Structure 1
């Protein structure tokens, strides 16, 4: 960070209470706040309005309500990137699982010599911190990879957005086969959004990790004109071969949930499961225009409180 940027950051920290809260939260200052207090304050910082938990209307508001009052023990298994494999096997079949190479509790236990030239390492309890996508093992800085994995294992992902299912996930490192589709020359994410068990639309991520773009399509592959964290692609992605199948599989996996995002990949014509997410962007990303936030919120029928 150069001096000018550093000075601007200090000025913003001193003058902007919302920015100050978010920065302090990142350093753990509010870890002892109750979930309700923390979510109310962070929602106001990120969304620019008061969180209504008595009568939530928008998608993002209802996600905060669900964090507090929809607490089924099986959700912890569903967000665990290791244990969810058994859940997927039982619900839709193990043919949809990316091949598992290994699982460890400690980075020092990993035998890198035994790993293939290409692989993916990641923690099972968080979203990205510590991940290693290796395309050529001969160029791998193993010491750096181990240090990043330690950072990932140390992260209490629950505290960042009070997404309680992650709180009690036993922390592990998993290695999976490196996957890439020969047609598009990348691994595109197909994220299916379900509402009370019904798949409604799909987000397609392109150029992931370099210049990530996101486009949204309904069940009939009609493009939906809104943005949510990422800009649209310059050229709309083509419909994947297994688009309808992904919607069907997502509905099987989302049975009994108020809302669930089910991620898939399509690799050389075969569908593979990615992960399950209950709280997209933790409910803190603005959906533009806001009418879509309200539209998606109407699709969620909240369950009885059980938290």
Structure 2
């Protein structure tokens, strides 16, 4: 379906295409004249907040320079290598554990926990296939349109033995953090998604099809630091989500996201969509 939409509607103007896609995904008509919800305002931002610097900031390789300049290199996941295509990868030179990903999308990550078990041929095939895709065309997230596709290898981060990482995502509006989104157990049957306010009160904001935690996480010892760093990075933006990992007493930057869920998030309640939408000032 995704490829069908991309190929069929490639030449339709962004505003019209987004109205069609919004109705398909959200089951509502998109109001671009007076947007009120979070999802609507993200579509508005796609069309009206087009700073050229965003292209480098969504690039998982180029954004490293921004992070290094703003808060320091210590928050970057160590980079192992970068290539123009997967055929250049010399797997013999990689450590036993690593992560491979394209710099221009959000779905190409290949996590290797044991190099002896990796299917090199399939890995190369998948990465080269993803290199040919342009993340702009489906959701019309224009910053991705001109990202030069690359493959990067990063060190593998693991919080506990055989336990998936916890994702911390700080939602910032006009440079100020307002909520922390927490993903636990991603990729498992115990996957949960929760929103906490800045005092670490567990809110009822949620998304369809994903459970809230029955027992809230303890307040992270690094919460204030994570919020402080996120606000430095978010200073000049109307809205951005700043992603983090915390491993072995160290915060690591994940990525910057300007259009969370491409603006098609399936909120459990319309109230939540409006609540977050009220925080985006587009005047």
- TM-score range with shorter-chain normalisation? over 0.9
Instruction: Please identify, of 140-149 and 231-240, the stretch whose mean Cα deviation from structure 2 is larger.
Output: 231-240
CA 1:25–1:82: 2 relative to 1, 3 Å = same
* Match 1:150 to one of 128, 146, 151: 128
CA shift, 1:184, in A, is 9.0
Could you list the per-position Cα deviations for residues 166-191 of structure 1 after superposition, in whole angstroms to 9, with x for gaps in the alignment?
Answer: 00001000000000113893311100
Residues 241-250 or 169-178, more deviating: 241-250
| Residue in structure 2 matched with residue 38 of structure 1 by the alignment | 17
Rg comparison, structure with higher value? 1
Q: Indicate which of 221, 227, 232 corresponds to 1:247.
A: 227
Find 2:99's aligned residue among 117, 120, 127.
120
Q: TM-score, normalised by structure 2?
A: 0.95
Query: Quick check: 64-73 or 237-246, which moved more?
Result: 237-246
**1:85 aligned partner:** 64
Of 94, 108, 116, the residue aligned with 1:138 is 116
1:154-209 deviations in Å (ceiling 9; x for gaps): 11110110000000001000000000113893311100000111100111111112
1:238 deviates by: 2.7
Following TM superposition, by how much is the alpha carbon of 1:294 offset from its aligned partner in structure 2, in angstroms? 0.8
- Are residue 301 (structure 1) and residue 256 (structure 2) matched? no
Kept after mapping to 2: 8 A contact 1:214/1:233: yes
Runs of 4+ with >4 A deviation? none
Q: For 1:176 and 1:285, how far apart are their aligned partners in 2?
A: 29
Secondary structure in 2 matching 1:169: coil
Match of 2:269 in 1: 289
Aligned pair partner of 2:243 in 242, 253, 263: 263
Displacement after TM superposition at 1:75 (Å): 0.6
Q: Deviation per CA, 1:192-232, whole angstroms, max 9, x where unpaired?
A: 00011110011111111223321110000000102125222
Decide which of 260, 263, 269 is 1:280's aligned counterpart. Answer: 260
Once the two structures are superposed, residues 224-272 of structure 1 have per-residue CA deviations (whole angstroms, 9 ceiling, x without a partner) of 1021252223433333221111111111001111110000000011100
Aligned equivalent of 1:236: 216
1:198 aligned residue (157, 176, 183)? 176
State the superposition RMSD in angstroms.
Answer: 1.6
Report whether the alignment pairs 1:213 with 2:197: no
TM-aligned CA deviation for residue 23 of structure 1: 7.3
Aligned counterparts of 1:73 and 1:238: Cα–Cα separation in 2: 39
Unaligned residue ranges in structure 1 (runs of 5+) = 1-19
Q: TM-score under structure 1 normalisation?
A: 0.88
- Output the CA distance in 2 between the equivalents of 1:243 and 1:237: 12
Aligned residues: 281
